[in-house]
Each structure stands twice: as C-alpha cells, then as structure tokens.
Amino acid sequence: MNPFEQKPSRSAEGFQSWKKLYPKAYKKDETDAYTKVRIILMTGAEYEAVWFGHQFHRNCSNNDLRRELAFSRRQEQQQQHQLAYLKPVDETQLETTITYEQLAVDLTAILAQREPDPYVVKALNFALLEDFDHLYRYSDLLEMEQGIQAERLVGRYTEIMPGRPTISHHRHPVDSVRRACDFKKADLVTLLDTCTITAAEQQTMNYYMNLGAYYPNDLGRRLYQEIGMVEEQHVTQYGALMDPRCTWLENLLVHEYNECYLYWSCYETETDASVRKIWEQNFEIEVAHLHKAQKLLREYEGKEWEQVLPQGEFPEPLHFEPQIDYVRKVLKDTVELTADREEYALIDSISADADFFKYQAAVNKGNTLDVPSHRVICEYQKKSLEDYRFETQKNPVPSLRDRKTDNTDLGRITRETGKRGKA
C-alpha cells in the first residue's frame, strides 16, 4: 500500500454532521481489549495532528497557507472527537486508564521488536517497564475501590505485575533528553515508530494531566499526579528522538503519512465491523490530507515527497497481539537500568552525586509511604494481605515476587552502599 498512489475520495474533502460525530459507543464488557487500544491510539494520533497544526499556524506568517492548515485541522478535530466519543458513559475513568496503560505496554513492545535502530529500541524498552508498572498500580487501585479485576479489561492479553517500581522512575529532567534521529537517513519504520509512540504517550500524559484532579478521592488523585509526571518524562524522551531538522511542511507530510499508516493498520486488523468502517472512513480523509501536504510542500518549498520520506510503500501493518514473553525478557534483563543523560546505565554504575539521586532526594523526601504509587500497593496489601496480580508465571525478577511487600529499592538504591547516593 502506497498512499501517494491512492486517489483522494471527494467525500473525504467535506465535514461530518453532528450525527456522524457522535458514534454509537462500544460495549465495555463485550468489545475486544485491542479494539479499545486502537481507539485510544488513534485518538492520540489525531490529538497530535491537531496540536501540531496549531503550532504550525502560530509559527507561519502566510495567511493563505494558514487557511489551508485551518481547513485540515478542522477535519482532524472532527476525527478526534468522533473517536473520543466511542467511549461509553458507563466506563469509569479508572477502567479507561487500564486500557491506556495496556496500549502503552503492548504498543511499545511491538514497536521495539520491529525497530531497526538499536538506540530507539533501548528507549522503547526503558519506558516499557515503567508503563508496565503503572498498569500494575492502577489495577490494584481498581480492584481495591471498584472490585473489578483488570485482567478482564485487558482480555488476559497482558500480564499485570510489578515492573521497574514507579518510585524509581523519578528522574532529573536533564536525563530525559535523547539523541535525535535523522529521518532522511533512517529506515521508514524508525520514522513511523518514533512518531507513533510520541503521539501515544502524549495522549496518555494529557489524559492524566486533565482528568487526574477529577478522581473522587485523594489516593487516586495523588496516583494520577505522580504517574502523570512520569508520562511527561516519557513524552520528553520520545519527542527528543524526532528529527528537529525537518521543516514545518516536511513535518506536516510526515504527520499525515503516519496517520495514513496507522488508520490503514487499524482497518487491516480490526475485528469489530462498526469500528472498522470508521477506520476506513478516516483513512480516506487522511489520504486527502497527505496529498494536500504533498502539494503544499511542492508549492512552498519546491520539494517532492520522495525528498522527505525514504519510501512511499507502507511496511507491514501494526498488529496488536499479546507481548507477554517479550515484556518478561525486557523485565529480567533491564529492570535495574536508569537514565544517565542520553544513555542508560545500571543504578550501581552511576555516580553518587548524579542528578538522579539529587532529584530523588527532592521529590521523595521523607517516608516512602508519601509516594502515591507505593502507598496504593501498601493500602491494598493491608486490606487483602497480598497485592493483586495477573501472572502466567512467577515474576522473572526474584525481588519482585513478594506479594506482601512493595519493593521501593530496585532501580533506585545501590547494592554496594544500600543508600540513595548523595543529596
């Protein structure tokens, strides 16, 4: 499939009615977990498209070009709203959150295994273990407060157990910056992977930032606040991988191409007939946007799309399926890593006066029970004697197998000294 060879549909050039913008919501207890995952992924892709369009608009002095952007952006906004309203009203905030974290875990694992750039693979694997731990902590909160076991919500496709402890995710901002890719030299898959994961993590960050404060109790509000801050770190990391040398119009072309690829992937792999129709409709809209971006690039910069993208033909579609074995391997091999400027290092190998320890001393000052992610598990263990998990086997990390005690040392405390380093 090469979207540049597709003739844009005339029906894709208009706007949707209010009736079409308000689709029939999925049934939360019947719809496949991966259908929900795809919906959140594409909601995030559209959100990224809208906000990129606004930033382009604010950094452009040509009103004719700004009008072209405004037209496409209005359509992107309609698409985003349509997808967001597929969520049913009876699905709670926390239930939706479980799907957000399942998306983060399985998407990251899928991208890491197909990614040809080893540096990007490291970034994906690093954040994977953190989203995996977030899923565990939100799941315990869900079971404790609503009596709902998250394994049902994830379709038993994704395990629920501790990853790198969330308390160990608290890193200094300088350690979230990565080396940028060169999109003109990189494999097409790398371009797609970095764009996709940035949009997905940004959607998660925004969801937590905007809705966290609406949670009905302090325990949940605090958990959303903490994990929302970690998601900001992830967005910074992934955004840093994207090529800053691309012009605004080159970036526009890349955005539209990535959306085409994702909608095509969703259409090719969707099992829900009604949702599949939405993927098809939105793919046609994005093909029209891509051709417009191609035209604007030629008109304003004198460039052809081949000068921006290494190829037009899509790679294999993005297909969601269980990633249990891969997540287990990454957990076993890399759980003790932390970030050290542009690289990753074992916690035992970084300097005692590293920024990581300084930041830990600042935000985790006092009792570890003050850290919301730790407190949630402690409260659950206090109530039920052991934590809630869904495991196919024992955790591959021996120190994470204890179901009666939450580990707050792994990836944070050095073995040699047993201390957090110098504050």
pLDDT in tens, 388-418: 999 999 999 999 999 999 999 999 999 875 5
Contact 44, 202 (CB under 8 A): yes
Nearest to 138 by CA among 123, 125, 154: 154
Share of the chain above pLDDT 70, in %: 98
| 295-315 average pLDDT score | 96
| 230-243 average pLDDT score | 98
What is the CA angle 236-238-241, rounded to 5? 110
Token pair belonging to 10: 């005339």
For residue 422, the model assigns a pLDDT of 31
Contact 79, 44 (CB under 8 A): no
Q: Give me the half-sphere count of Cα atoms (radius 13 Å) on the Cβ side of residue 151.
A: 9
209-217, long-range: CB within 8 Å, 24+ apart, which pairs? 211/93, 214/93, 215/93, 215/94, 217/145
| pLDDT per residue as tens digits for the range 28-54 | 999 999 999 999 999 999 999 999 999
Which of these ranges, 14-18, 107-111, 303-307, 380-384, has the smallest mean pLDDT?
14-18
Q: How far is CA 144 from CA 80, 167, 380, in A?
A: 32, 20, 6
* DSSP for 329-380, written as a single string: HHHHHHTTEEEETTEEEEGGGS-TT-HHHHHHHHHT-S-GGGSHHHHHHHHH
The pTM for the full model equals: 0.96
What is the CA angle 243-246-252, rounded to 5? 110
Domain ranges of the chain: 3-325
For residue 421, the model assigns a pLDDT of 36
| 188-211 average pLDDT score | 97
**CA dist., res. 268 & res. 274, Å (int):** 14
For residue 310, the model assigns a pLDDT of 86
For residue 207, the model assigns a pLDDT of 97
**CA dist., res. 170 & res. 227, Å (int):** 10
Nearest to 108 by CA among 210, 177, 204: 204
Per the prediction, the chain carries an average pLDDT of 95
Nearest to 136 by CA among 106, 159, 168: 159
Helices in 166-247 by DSSP H: which ranges? 188-211, 218-241
Instruction: Assess whether pLDDT exceeds 80 at residue 77.
Output: yes
Q: Predicted confidence band at 9 (pLDDT cuts at 50, 70, 90)? A: confident
Q: Can you tell me which residue has the tokens 């905007």?
A: 210
| 201-214 average pLDDT score | 96
